[in-house]
Chains A and B, each alone.
Chain A
Amino acid sequence: GAVVSQHPSWVICKSGTSVKIECRSLDFQATTMFWYRQFPKQSLMLMATSNEGSKATYEQGVEKDKFLINHASLTLSTLTVTSAHPEDSSFYICSARTPGNTIYFGEGSWLTVV
């Protein structure tokens, strides 16, 4: 079964609203989680590294104020897309690192902004 769970699996929101995506590690504590976005027929692009109890580290070109990341506990990281626009529509995937340094990916969350 899945060891990293994302919720929701898919979401539709109106332009200008905010939407939150959760990433949970089910069987382990993850001090580090990663958020990726993937456009159709393209590769995964790392957006940010989420560290429990500290600020996320964003990749170059990713807007911190638009993609808010919170890693409040060792099993949960959230990505909030603020003031969403149609161009934010994408497949968002998280991954989590186990204490033994294995990386597990979530099943992804489809976001459609209308």
Chain B
Amino acid sequence: GESVGLHLPTLSVQEGDNSIINCAYSNSASDYFIWYKQESGKGPQFIIDIRSNMDKRQGQRVTVLLNKTVKHLSLQIAATQPGDSAVYFCAENTSGTYKYIFGTGTRLKVLA
């Protein structure tokens, strides 16, 4: 069936460097995407979202890029900090359903 997957299960970066977390999605009907951060033992926290009519959206220290041609989503974190260590999930949604399909997750480890 349709699914959302991630390329890298674990990403280790030096503190202060930029991080890039990737996600591939397969449902061409998905038109809304969200990146979530999940710390150990807690529920997901919203980071940033993007609609399919955009290819880039910036937040505070984070940028999401959407490439609909290859069905690829990425999350860029600038100047990665120890507090960014967590598991990051991308989630896709199709208009009107409010159901989110989550990707497999990438663990980000920030090295001091």
Give A contacts to B, CB under 8 Å: 4, 6, 32, 34, 36, 42-46, 49, 91, 93, 95, 97, 101, 103-108, 110
Do residues B43 and A46 form an inter-chain contact, with CB atoms below 8 A? no
Cβ-neighbour of A49 out of B43, B44, B99 (below 8 A): B99
B70 CB, nearest partner CB in chain A, Å: 22
A108 CA to B47 CA in the complex, in Å? 18
A77 CA to B42 CA in the complex, in Å? 19
Contacts of B36 in A (CB 8 A): 105
Give B contacts to A, CB under 8 Å: 36, 41-46, 89, 98-105
B40 CB, nearest partner CB in chain A, Å: 10
Q: A42-B104, A43-B103 are in contact. Are A101 and B44 (CB under 8 A)?
A: no
Contacts of B42 in A (CB 8 A): 107-108
Most chain B CB neighbours (cut-off 10 Å) among A6, A32, A44, A95: A44
